[in-house]
């Protein structure tokens, strides 16, 4: 198992700068954000130009990772592959294929994405649509030696009423997407707030957990008594503000990291555990973000066999 980090928390930094910082601070791998450009969400970042990725970019990227002694564990392009706007869906599909092509050129084994959801239609209709349109993406990746990995994020902010916007949030839905050929970028934080014990999901699905994200979550039961499980009705200008929980860096929330890492080891996980920093306490500027990453590293490093 390797300790990595997702680069999206530092959208204004160059990949060279992130790689140097990561090496100096005890990280072994990078999960590289490859959105087309920084956008409206904090976690969008463009750290490699995968839409225009020629031989020069391949050579420069390989040299960068060799120079810093890091592994490139995955590309990250988490977008809605079932978007209701078909033109937007095609843009996402096209860029995801660019990411897959760049991954093939670099020998990167995984490209991360979301299943997504058409929020104007029922879950049943979305599953039928997914079975129709998603296998072509899986085949495109497979032909190039790349696995598509889906993070089990609920993406409640994508739905106008705060319901799941990414149909990969539960083991029941994982089994559906596995049948289409997807793999899992397993994240315990999302499971925790929706009431699923993350540790109990590892053993039954370990053959499909090829990459994992390390993000924690802090629950506020008192606030939940006011808003209910589905969160605030009035979320202001932040559709992801549920009001009774928030993401934290590992060690500052409810996730039992010693048990999580031990169970991953027990069942043979040999991939990257990648810190995904979306902690509002340790956010807002580069100094606080990097301090949050140091807290995560200090929490997880003692648990990972060197």
List the one residue out of 171, 194, 200 whose CA is nearest residue 184: 171
Burial of 262 per CB tally in 10 Å (0-12, 13-18, 19+) = middle
**Model pLDDT, residue 42:** 52
**Model pLDDT, residue 41:** 53
What percentage of the chain exceeds 70 in pLDDT? Answer: 98
Q: What is the pLDDT of residues 210-262, one digit of tens each?
A: 999 999 999 999 999 999 999 999 999 999 999 999 999 999 999 999 999 99
Q: Residue 119's domain is classified under what CATH number?
A: 3.20.20.150
Residue with tokens 């463009």: 46
pTM confidence score: 0.96
Average pLDDT of 105-134? 98
**Model pLDDT, residue 37:** 75
For Cα atoms 258, 260, 263, give the angle at the middle one, nearest 5 degrees: 105
Q: What DSSP letter does each residue of 176-241 carry, written as one string?
A: HHHHTT-EEEE-HHHHHHTT--GGGGHHHHTTTEEEEEE-EEEE-HHHHHHH-TT--S--TT-TT-
> Which element (helix H / strand E) includes 6?
strand 2-6
CB burial of 69-82 (b: ≥16 within 10 Å; e: otherwise) equals ebbbbbbbbbbbbb
Torsion sign across C-alpha atoms 161, 90, 108, 75: negative
Phi, psi of 199 (to 5 degrees): -60, -35
> Which element (helix H / strand E) includes 76?
strand 71-80
> Which element (helix H / strand E) includes 104?
helix 86-106
Are 305 and 266 spatial neighbours (Cβ–Cβ below 8 Å)?
no
Per residue, the 3-state secondary structure of 130-151, as one string, reads HHHHCHHHHHHHHCCCCEEEEE
Q: Which domain holds residue 87?
A: 2-303
Other C-beta atoms lying within 10 Å of the C-beta of residue 132: 9
Task: Count Cα neighbours of 127 within 13 Å in the Cβ-side half-sphere.
Answer: 13
Q: What is the pLDDT of residues 164-195, one digit of tens each?
A: 999 999 999 999 999 999 999 999 999 999 99
Which of 44-53, 62-71, 110-119 is the least confident region? 44-53
Are 53 and 15 spatial neighbours (Cβ–Cβ below 8 Å)?
no
**Model pLDDT, residue 38:** 54
**Model pLDDT, residue 237:** 92
For the chain, the domain total comes to 1
């Amino acid at each position: 198992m390797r300790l990595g980090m997702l680069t999206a928390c530092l959208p204004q930094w160059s990949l060279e700068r992130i790689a140097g910082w990561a090496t100096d601070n005890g990280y072994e791998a990078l999960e590289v954000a490859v959105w087309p450009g920084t956008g409206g969400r904090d976690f969008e970042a463009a750290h490699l130009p995968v839409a225009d990725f020629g031989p020069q970019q391949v050579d420069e990227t390989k040299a960068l990772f060799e120079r810093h002694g890091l592994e490139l564990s995955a590309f990250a392009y988490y977008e809605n592959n079932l978007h209701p706007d078909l033109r937007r869906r095609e843009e996402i599909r096209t860029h995801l294929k660019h990411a897959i092509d760049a991954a093939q050129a670099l020998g990167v084994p995984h490209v991360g994405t979301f299943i997504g959801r058409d929020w104007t239609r029922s879950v049943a209709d979305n599953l039928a649509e997914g079975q129709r349109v998603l296998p072509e993406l899986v085949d495109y990746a497979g032909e190039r030696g790349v696995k598509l990995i889906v993070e089990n994020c609920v993406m409640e902010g994508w739905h106008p009423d705060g319901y799941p916007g990414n149909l990969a949030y539960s083991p029941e839905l994982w089994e559906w997407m596995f049948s289409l050929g997807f793999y899992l970028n397993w994240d315990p934080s999302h499971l925790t707030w929706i009431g699923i014990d993350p540790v109990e999901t590892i053993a039954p699905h370990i053959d499909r957990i090829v990459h994992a994200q390390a993000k924690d979550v802090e629950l506020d039961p008192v606030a939940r008594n006011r808003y209910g499980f589905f969160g605030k009705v009035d979320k202001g200008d932040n559709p992801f503000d549920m009001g009774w929980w928030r993401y934290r860096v590992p060690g500052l929330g409810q996730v039992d990291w010693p048990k999580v890492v031990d169970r991953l080891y027990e069942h043979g996980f040999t991939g990257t555990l990648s810190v995904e920093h979306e902690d509002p306490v340790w956010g807002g500027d580069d100094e606080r973000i990097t301090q949050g990453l140091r807290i995560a590293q200090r929490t997880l490093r003692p648990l990972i066999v060197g």
